[in-house]
Chain A
């Protein structure tokens, strides 16, 4: 799977409250959640983010409460992929389980102009290319079964396809 999109930068320890504030948890609709994505740390963000965009975080992205609403809000905004130096464990699990592609890249992605520079992400190869400079970063590649979970749109759909191959 290959994604290409504009990059948005976020720092270390972006917690799930920052991603989607608790006051919006009365819905699980990804589209409704997306309207408030990152609102408390970057109020203009919901108006800027567009389908296909890529979020780039630092260490421990998605820490804090285990709410599945956080990856849902990101997915609802049409974000194609989240890259971070490291993810909080439950956010990581939730993201994969709902079919949001995420990638861990230990290297610092430097010199990126947020909102204009574009990245190309290859899940299978585990590479991230900064298109303006041509610089390539190595990340952990996704094994085929993980790509299939993502392709199918999440763990539930993946399992459904496994048990009902005809449908």
Chain B
């Protein structure tokens, strides 16, 4: 087998610019929303990260 070769797709390379722009807007919107929430004293429920949290605890042991 010829390892790791697949066509990345021209369209898929071009569209990333648009997808990133939309993602940027969403992230900005979320950050603003979080700031407003924390300003109003509303706490955000933080999801526990499935990998790093476990590792950090293991290191403490």
A and B assemble together: no
Using a CB–CB cutoff of 8 Å, the interface residues on chain A facing chain B are none
Interface residues of B (CB under 8 A from A): none
